[in-house]
Chains A and B, each alone.
Chain A
Amino acid sequence: MENKHLLDFQNVFYTYDEEDKDSFAVKDISFTVDKGEYVVILGHNGSGKSTIAKLSNSIFVPSEGKVFVDGMDTADEKNEFKIREKVGVVFQNPDNQIVASIVEEDVAFGPENLGIPPKTIRERVDNALKAVGMYDYRLHETHRLSGGQKQRVAIAGMIAMLPECIVFDEPTAMLDPRGRREVINTARKLNSEGMSIVLITHFMEEAVFADKVIVVDGGRILAEGTPREIFSKTEMLISCGLDVPDTVKLSLLLKEKGVPIEGLPLTEEELTEEYLRILNL
């Protein structure tokens, strides 16, 4: 039977301190990620976001509750390898995720561990590097790449495992604006080709393209909805240490000043179009 939900968190609790049961990093979290869905998780530093990432492919198993990956229980040790093939995690610091000195060797590391024939590995590595736009760099040394390039190599390493979902844990926090664009565009491209994406971030503008946004605060889910629904709750976001994208801030200010903007434009393109529309242009 095909499971509709690729990732299914059911009333998950997690504590780093088994002695102190009250100090849960994640409290009663339930949400799902469907095949092909693009989900963004927003939360301030220390809100429990990264714990969620590690719970999603059985790096951590829940203290209470269940996480299912394509119907498989992450707490069941015999599922561990299958789960890690299905769900890959890309972390924040690109330097901690590169294991080899040459780009293509790094990307081949995962599939090599799966015991796949060399010819298939070659194909998978080439395809993965093409998918992230790093094929021309396949023979380059990894330590000479920029941060954004290193992150894309880490993503290629994931893709070579042919996962169905990639969880990004603040993949752009350490990158410059160009690096951030490269990584986010790569995630969007993979999603448009059918990959499920979970993006954990506190850059509000990265949430604009999501199918679903989940706001986490104090280890709990505070809100869940489309980007438009979430960003219309400015006060809630600010009260939990977050913000809205500047374009949304501008749209809201204009409404306050009596400019009849309809709906809630989220991107520069949308706001430009709406502004020209109300000018009758």
Chain B
Amino acid sequence: MVILEVKNVSYGYSHGTPFEITALDDVSFSVEKGELVGIIGHTGSGKSTLIKMLNSLLKPESGQILLDGKDINKDKASIKEARSRVGLCFQYPEYQLFEETCAKDIAFGPKNMGLSKAEIEERVIKAAEFVGFSKELLNKSPFDLSGGQKRRCAIAGVMAMFPEVLILDEPTAGLDPKGRNELTAMIENYRKATGATVMIVSHSMDDMARNADRLLVMNKGKLAMDGKVQDVFSKADKLIEMGLSVPVSTSLVNRLNSKLSDMPTDVFTVEDAAELLSSYYKRRKAL
């Protein structure tokens, strides 16, 4: 079932100046309920503009954004509805923490939704669970936390609104490998528990290869590719042309293929590459 639909959306900045930029150029796609969609693209490709459209922080200059088939920019009420159903988490969200305690910070969203005190409390506890926060941490000031904890607190603040579509811009940027894995698992927790749709903007092709069902590739304001992870990464040349890269395993197998030519190219994770290279080796040696 389609939950979110982007129809022929265009948007530009600095109209009438020499710095005029077309940030989005006739972009169309739709997202199914419960899907995990990755958005990749070089800096300046329109990714951030695109996600700001999805809960009406920016409005399309032409085209429409439909949530459950209804235009989110139709009137004030529909904008308000979109903002509570589509949760947007920006890059480095820890810079947006402001309350005295983590619990209060996480409660800010649900409070603005006009929920009852009991409901707010319940949601704070639930959101804290998603990101692995103990009761003790909830009563601390967010400014006394480590960088990784701050990040999780900020993301919990978005999760507490129980958005049906959760959009995160580079959620793992600046984290160490362990922090990256933990955060990825927390987002997956949220998706499994709520059945929500998740969209993640990322520069890490390897993370995308492991986690996403489907990839949207933005290039110069246009949606350049939209397909399953395998289909997108099999077009390595095209991605590199756009200033992107492919997962290490894909690139390695492509490199071998220029010598061996009979290797399958649909390899995206280290585990798959190990399987392929070991069975290929054994087959060649058996000849």
Bound-complex Cα distance A45 to B271 (A):
27
Bound-complex Cα distance A43 to B176 (A):
8
B278 and A272: CB pair below 8 A?
A: no
A-B contact pairs, 11 of them (CB 8 A): A44-B178, A45-B175, A177-B203, A177-B243, A241-B176, A242-B178, A249-B270, A250-B270, A259-B278, A272-B256, A279-B284
Interface of B is mostly: helix
B284 and A45: CB pair below 8 A?
A: no
Distance of A178 from chain B, by nearest CB (Å): 5
B277 and A275: CB pair below 8 A?
A: yes
> Is B73 close to A, CB under 8 A?
no
> Is B132 close to A, CB under 8 A?
no
Distance of B263 from chain A, by nearest CB (Å): 11
> Is B58 close to A, CB under 8 A?
no
Task: Kindly name the residue among B147, B173, B177, B282 whose own CB sees the greatest number of chain A CB atoms within 10 A.
Answer: B177
Bound-complex Cα distance A173 to B43 (A):
14
A45 and B146: CB pair below 8 A?
A: yes
Residues of chain B with a CB closer than 8 A to A111's CB: none
Q: Which residue of the partner chain, among B148, B205, B255, B270, contacts A253 with CB atoms under 8 Å?
A: B270
- Identity of the chain B residue whose Cβ is nearest the Cβ of A244 in the assembled complex: B177
> Is A179 close to B, CB under 8 A?
yes
Interface band, chain A = 35 or more
Bound-complex Cα distance A173 to B260 (A):
36
B256 and A254: CB pair below 8 A?
A: no
> Is B244 close to A, CB under 8 A?
yes
Q: Which residue of the partner chain, among B176, B179, B281, contacts A278 with CB atoms under 8 Å?
A: B281
Closest CB pairs A-B (n = 7): A253-B274, A241-B178, A243-B177, A44-B176, A257-B278, A246-B248, A202-B176
Residues of chain B with a CB closer than 8 A to A257's CB: 274-275, 278
> Is B224 close to A, CB under 8 A?
no
Per the 8 Å Cβ criterion, residues 206-255 of B in contact with A are 206, 243-245, 247-249, 251-252, 255
Binary per-residue interface labels of chain B (29-53) against chain A in the complex, 1 for a CB within 8 Å, 0 otherwise: 0000000000000111000000000
B248 and A202: CB pair below 8 A?
A: no
Q: What residues make up the interface of A, taking CB atoms closer than 8 Å to B?
A: 43-46, 92, 146-147, 170, 173-174, 176-179, 202, 204, 238, 241-243, 245-247, 249-250, 253-254, 256-259, 268, 271-272, 275-276, 278-279, 281
Residues of chain B with a CB closer than 8 A to A272's CB: 252, 255-256, 259
> Is B273 close to A, CB under 8 A?
yes
B270 and A279: CB pair below 8 A?
A: no
- Identity of the chain B residue whose Cβ is nearest the Cβ of A173 in the assembled complex: B174
Task: Kindly name the residue among B176, B259, B273, B281 whose own CB sees the greatest number of chain A CB atoms within 10 A.
Answer: B176
Q: When A44-B176, A242-B176, A243-B177 are in contact, do A178 and B147 touch as well, CB less than 8 Å?
A: no
Task: Kindly name the residue among A43, A179, A268 whose own CB sees the greatest number of chain B CB atoms within 10 A.
Answer: A268
Residues of chain B with a CB closer than 8 A to A46's CB: 146-148
- Identity of the chain A residue whose Cβ is nearest the Cβ of B280 in the assembled complex: A279
Bound-complex Cα distance A21 to B178 (A):
29
Residues of chain A with a CB closer than 8 A to B43's CB: 146-147, 176, 178-179
B278 and A202: CB pair below 8 A?
A: no
Q: Which residue of the partner chain, among A92, A173, A246, contacts B249 with CB atoms under 8 Å?
A: A246
Q: When A176-B42, A177-B244 are in contact, do A45 and B274 touch as well, CB less than 8 Å?
A: no
Q: When A246-B248, A268-B255 are in contact, do A146 and B44 touch as well, CB less than 8 Å?
A: yes
- Identity of the chain A residue whose Cβ is nearest the Cβ of B91 in the assembled complex: A174
- In the complex, besides A247-B252, A279-B284, 9 extra interface pairs with C-beta distance below 8 angstroms are A44-B178, A44-B179, A177-B245, A238-B178, A247-B248, A249-B270, A250-B249, A268-B252, A279-B281
B177 and A258: CB pair below 8 A?
A: no
- Identity of the chain B residue whose Cβ is nearest the Cβ of A251 in the assembled complex: B274
Q: Which residue of the partner chain, among A176, A238, A254, A276, contacts B259 with CB atoms under 8 Å?
A: A276
Residues of chain A with a CB closer than 8 A to B260's CB: 279, 281
Residues of chain A with a CB closer than 8 A to B255's CB: 268, 272
B179 and A254: CB pair below 8 A?
A: no
Distance of A132 from chain B, by nearest CB (Å): 18
Bound-complex Cα distance A246 to B273 (A):
11
Binary per-residue interface labels of chain B (149-186) against chain A in the complex, 1 for a CB within 8 Å, 0 otherwise: 00000000000000000000000011111110000000
Q: Which residue of the partner chain, among A245, A246, A247, A254, contacts B277 with CB atoms under 8 Å?
A: A254
Residues of chain B with a CB closer than 8 A to A243's CB: 177-178
A45 and B179: CB pair below 8 A?
A: yes
Q: Which residue of the partner chain, among B177, B270, B282, B284, contacts A241 with CB atoms under 8 Å?
A: B177
Residues of chain B with a CB closer than 8 A to A43's CB: 176
Task: Kindly name the residue among A170, A178, A179 whose own CB sees the greatest number of chain B CB atoms within 10 A.
Answer: A178
Bound-complex Cα distance A170 to B245 (A):
21
- Identity of the chain B residue whose Cβ is nearest the Cβ of A49 in the assembled complex: B176
Residues of chain A with a CB closer than 8 A to B174's CB: 45, 92, 170, 173-174
Distance of A91 from chain B, by nearest CB (Å): 13
Distance of B280 from chain A, by nearest CB (Å): 8
- Identity of the chain A residue whose Cβ is nearest the Cβ of B147 in the assembled complex: A45
